[in-house]
Amino acid sequence: MQTTDPEHLPSVSEGVRLQKYLADAGLCSRREAERRIEKGRVRINGKTVLEMGVRVKPGDLVEMDGKKAEANEPLIYVMLHKPADVVTSCKHRGERVVTDLVNLPFRIFPVGRLDKDSTGLLLLTNDGPLHHRLSHPSFDHEKEYLVQTQPALDDNALAQMAGGIVIEGRKTRPAKVYRQNRETFRIVLLEGRNRQIRKMVAACSAEVVKLHRIRMTFLNLGRLPSGEWRHLTPEEVTKLKALKENHPAYKKQFKGRK
């Protein structure tokens, strides 16, 4: 396998970082781009790239998995009401994937994830930088869920969840918790650990029967039917971008990365 020679790579002071270029092209998120680079699946001008510091400059031919990568697709922003029994990752072969529900000729990627059995609001986009920044744990974006358990959790258990519960050796961050009815409560999280709510409920000796996301940041699922999707409005997209650009984590981590 022919790999990159540092003498023939663009200077680190010019061009666009390779992982950002791939994300901007709508091929994958920036994190996924980094993984694919590490696996030797990306080439610049015919040479395999294995380093993260490489930049793409005008005139470079970038390929991923043998396909030319160029940002020539319109940016898409979609809200989907994810039904149950649909997965967010295409790694699960033979199962329906959320992108199968969105009838668009462009590649889009879910922002975060919902378990196969979970339902509700899911954002999908091919805007790589926005995807990366909304998915990054430093941004503290609120996500609100309706949770039904069996047996029902008492007020003491809900108070424990609000204050933080130790799961897998690490305490969860404080959350907002509100009782909806006897068996259902609402919880607002600022973090998104794997199967976090289900593990928090299990720590309270109960089991999640239904888990439904109703809000992400300022975006509410509203009356969008299960399995249906809609484009975000221009106003929603503008507000979403302003949200991440004004966040201290953005200014600290992404300053100068345009």
Sorted by sequence, the CB contacts under 8 Å of residue 5 that are 6+ apart come out as: 47
Residue 110 vs residues 51, 113, 204: alpha-carbon distances, Å? 26, 7, 30
- Rounded CA separation 180/171 (Å): 25
Residue 198 vs residues 170, 212, 243: alpha-carbon distances, Å? 15, 12, 28
Catalytic residues: 115
Taking alpha carbons only, the member of 28, 33, 25, 109 closest to residue 74 is: 25
Give the pairing type, strands 119-125 and 207-216: parallel
